[in-house]
Amino acid sequence: MQTKIKRHTRNVMAKRITTQELHKEIEQIKNNHLAHIEKSMGILEEDVKDNRKYFETRLDRLDNRIWGLVLLTISTLAATVAGMML
């Protein structure tokens, strides 16, 4: 029984993480993973800006078409009313 407890104690001690190892892992996460996330965020921001420009131009074209249809409708209505009066 004594040897089983000693082996278990040794295994637990071997699996324990020291504060230095934990500090190294935290630094690695800060340096590597967070740097990649920041880089990805920069790329994402650029993509969002590009998409915004694309959709703004599309909406501007659509807006111009709608106004064209409105003016065409109003001019047709005005022509019809003028034709009825004459």
The pLDDT value recorded for residue 63 is: 97
Helix (H), strand (E), coil (C) string for the chain: CHHHHHHHHHHHHHHCCCHHHHHHHHHHHHHHHHHHHHHHHHHHHHHHHHHHHHHHHHHHHHHHHHHHHHHHHHHHHHHHHHHHHC
In this prediction the pTM is 0.47
Q: Which amino acid is at 81?
A: V
The pLDDT value recorded for residue 31 is: 78
User: What is the extent of the structural domain holding 18?
Assistant: 2-85
The pLDDT value recorded for residue 17 is: 73
Cα radius of gyration (the chain): 35
Domain count, the chain: 1
For the chain, 86 residues long, give each residue's pLDDT as a single digit of tens: 556 556 655 555 556 778 888 888 888 877 777 778 888 888 888 899 999 999 999 999 999 999 999 999 999 999 999 999 98
